[in-house]
Structure 1
Amino acid sequence: MAIDQDPPRRRFLKAGVAAGAALGAGSVAHAATNTPLKQLKQPVDPMLMVEPFFGEHQAGIVTPQQSHTYVAALDLTTDKRDDVIGLLKTWTDAAARMSRGDTAKPLPADDKAAPDSGDILGLGAAGLTITFGFGPGLFTHEGRDRYGLEKRRPAALVDLPRFNGDQLLPQKTGGDILIQACANDAQVAFHAVRQLARMGYGIVAMRWGQAGFLSGPRGQTPRNLMGFKDGTNNPSTAQPALMNQFVWANAPDAPWMNGGTYTVVRRIRITLEHWDTMERGFQEQVMGREKYSGAPIGKKNEFDALDLDAADKDGNQVIPENSHVRLSNQATNNGAQILRRSYSYNDGTDFYIERWPPWRQETEYDAGLIFVAHQSDPRTGFIPINDRLAKFDMMNQFTTHVGSAVFACPPGVRPGSFIGAGLFEA
């Protein structure tokens, strides 16, 4: 999928706080005219971009990808339903404010309160989107229905099975509530999650958090750390029919989820040291695509259709049987598709000891992919697709899934309501 974005860059605005004030004034003008922000001309500067928080669907799902993300999962520590509702209302107000470039709460006249860390003053909204999701633990926790919501758990919000090769770390897996902030600046994204987590002290506790980044020229599919374009085969977000078919939820057992989506997050570590020693031709066989152009092997252009029947002069498949693109393609998965919205991550290095010959000891990168997939139902989307990949994908010799979570992301919110309000209605 071609992604419309500016190259990532971090810098202070020349106008500083004055620019932030001007942005705030623009937001007020928008509210007065009630003109959809999507129809307004966005500024060239990615730090001044504003994405609307309120709408039919949550932002950050089909929104053109920003250059940075901070995704976090939190666990609920309260047994009181009213605490959860109150927090979601507080978060809705704060998220709407931050999405237009404002602080999480109004700045006080005195110095006796700390409503916001203030580290984003003068930076602008940077295209910030904040997306919320509910994990299985919101509905049932250790066999208990804490909030009277068990009967409203959607059938599609299934516990993910253990896939072949999974080496999941408890500290990177699960969570009752998802917060994903995406922005054209790393600090803006982290600031949003940081403020929301602070507001939830006593009600939620951070389970895990992960920063990510995305690189690529404006209007082109970005490349992951393996050097290949990532997201080429996504269903087009510009076609509502495809989004209704593959992304937006619409099931009679959970009408409160209509217009929402089910989101799978996987932390995939990539052994870049191993991958980087492979010849380009072999890498292309693993992927099933040309590395430089992104085209399917045997084709010239990135978006050329896959020819899964093509054979070389010796009768061998041009696109290998166990290549990533063949196994993940719609044509080999009963027509199923998911919307990938992934980010790369780099968390420094770890010391590593091999438990088999030649018994190497070395420092390796803790880097890889924050895989994020949206779909109308994981049972027909991510689960069967990933099951085939986990068993047969050549890429598995370079990747390990170490984190996993699934969430029901409710539809968008209208002014005066709060995120997930439909779930709590009697």
Structure 2
Amino acid sequence: MMSNQDGKWWNKKISRRDMLKLTGAGAAGVAIGASGFGGVMNAMGYDVFESVVGDASNKVEFYGKHQAGITTPVQKHVFFAALTVVSSKEDLRELFKKWTPLVVRLTNGELMADPSTNTRIPTSDTGESVGLDASNLTITFGVGPSLFDKFHISHLKPSELVDLPHFPKDQLVEEWTGGDLCIQACADDPQVAFHAVRNLVRAGSGKVEIKWSQAGFTSFPADGSTPRNLFAFKDGSVNPSKKEENDVIWIQPGESKSWLTGGTYLVARKIQMHLETWDRTSLKDQEATFGRYRDSGAVFGKKGEFDDFDVEEKDVNSNYIIPDTSHVHLARKSGAQMLRRSYSYASGVMTKTGAHDAGLLFISFQKHPSQFIKVQNSLGRMDKLNEYVTHRGSALFACFPGVQKGSYIGEAFFNAL
């Protein structure tokens, strides 16, 4: 695989004449030190693997100041994986170097095939996304606090990168908690998202293992309005605007360790939603729980989903218009902002109870974990939503800044080791 002057990855086309040159006397000079035909090809600057015909339509650009998959428009599916590192930091550096061109190919909707096998199903790719386009695939990477302890690199660990504190209604399960690394793959096709994580982990065999994972989904109405969660309420109505991103999401120079400038923090929470209990609750009480009307998504006292509101506003009887135990009231009262990018999940039933094992894979991005902690503490035990949900999984990761052409994922971090 080669890089041209503007840094794009591509493969050279080989004509019949070039092939004859390579297999004749003219190849003798370049074949020194090469091993067989493949070695000759590599010595000539050709990649012995060629792309299976890929479809790069619906592509999201991989390179940029920030990682894709954060402020990128939300796709329909996610496959999220937390990984355990089982090798050295030098091996991990080489893995991220290996991952970078692979991610470029994946997000371009490309596969790799060995032409010597005379098959369209690739040998260096698991092949289940053959015939599918890029599906707006984005792949986002982060590092967890445990990685710094494992590698004894506390000097590089941001002070704020510590496990999240215990919150009310937390009943965390170890198998869904923590992780040395994370990979968030989002796409408009679930198989494309799964394929991406599968092949990245496969490429890291012997270096990383999956600790826990979760697939998720969301559906967008035809009018482009906000998607709904499994409680049928619109989810993600309040998110920072473009002009607020530097204040809310992106870490600026001097705000953390230098390797994290341009990055952000990812909070992942697996939240079980008790659908059977919710379904026995009246619509009036459901709306009071959120502080929003279910149909329009507007907060109490307003008509539009995005209408601004004063959380302290009261009626003529001095009662809060938005109940002070509602999710909206308590979240707004915290005064903290974050970017929410959550997905629903459904994983069968709970074997002991027969209840749905379903809920929300809550994902948020913020420039400081305290933003999430402040909101969660504000919700506390007063949040009426706590009657219907239980937090089962939790993790925090520091997400690298974006990648420039010619660089690799996490280069600033690994250069500081």
Band of TM-score, shorter chain: 0.7 to 0.9
The SS at the match of 1:351 is coil
Match of 1:100 in 2: 108
Question: Counterpart amino acid of 2:126?
Answer: S
Match of 2:380 in 1: 390
Is 1:247 aligned with 2:253? no
Is 1:373 aligned with 2:364? yes
Question: Counterpart amino acid of 1:108?
Answer: D
Distance (Å, rounded) in 2 between the aligned partners of 1:234 and 1:275: 26
Contact 1:126 1:185 in 2 (8 A): yes
Match of 1:224 in 2: 229
Larger gyration radius, structure 1 or structure 2: 2
Change (3 A) 1:319 1:135: same
Distance (Å, rounded) in 2 between the aligned partners of 1:47 and 1:111: 24
Match of 2:347 in 1: 347
Change (3 A) 1:168 1:195: same
Match of 1:197 in 2: 201
Report the alpha carbon displacement of residue 278 of structure 1 after superposing the two structures with TM: 0.8
Q: Which runs of 5+ in 1 are unaligned?
A: 1-28, 33-45, 353-361
Distance (Å, rounded) in 2 between the aligned partners of 1:114 and 1:30: 26
Mapping of 1:20-419 within 5 angstroms? 48-78=57-87, 80-103=88-111, 106-111=112-117, 114-141=123-150, 145=152, 149-218=153-222, 219-236=224-241, 239=242, 241-250=243-252, 252=254, 253-329=256-332, 332-333=333-334, 335-352=335-352, 362-379=353-370, 381-419=371-409
The SS at the match of 2:381 is helix
Contact 1:120 1:188 in 2 (8 A): yes
Report the alpha carbon displacement of residue 159 of structure 1 after superposing the two structures with TM: 1.7
Query: What is the TM-score of this pair, normalised by structure 1?
Result: 0.82
The SS at the match of 2:139 is strand
Distance (Å, rounded) in 2 between the aligned partners of 1:152 and 1:257: 10
Q: Deviations over 1:311-368 (max 9, x none)?
A: 3343321111110001111xx22x320100000000011134xxxxxxxxx4110000
The aligned length equals 362
Q: Deviations over 1:37-56 (max 9, x none)?
A: xxxxxxxxx99310011111
Distance (Å, rounded) in 2 between the aligned partners of 1:151 and 1:75: 21
Question: Counterpart amino acid of 1:232?
Answer: S
Contact 2:56 2:108 in 1 (8 A): no
Contact 1:47 1:127 in 2 (8 A): no
Distance (Å, rounded) in 2 between the aligned partners of 1:194 and 1:383: 32
The SS at the match of 1:391 is coil
Report the alpha carbon displacement of residue 251 of structure 1 after superposing the two structures with TM: 5.3
Distance (Å, rounded) in 2 between the aligned partners of 1:280 and 1:88: 49
Q: Which runs of 5+ in 2 are unaligned?
A: 1-5, 10-54
Query: What is the TM-score of this pair, normalised by structure 2?
Result: 0.83
- What's the C-alpha RMSD, in Å, of the aligned pairs? 2.0
Report the alpha carbon displacement of residue 392 of structure 1 after superposing the two structures with TM: 1.8
Percentage of matched positions with identical amino acids = 46
What stretches of structure 1 move > 4 A for 4+ residues in a row? 29-32
Contact 1:47 1:185 in 2 (8 A): no
Contact 2:56 2:110 in 1 (8 A): no
Match of 2:414 in 1: 424
Change (3 A) 1:371 1:412: same
Contact 2:56 2:109 in 1 (8 A): no
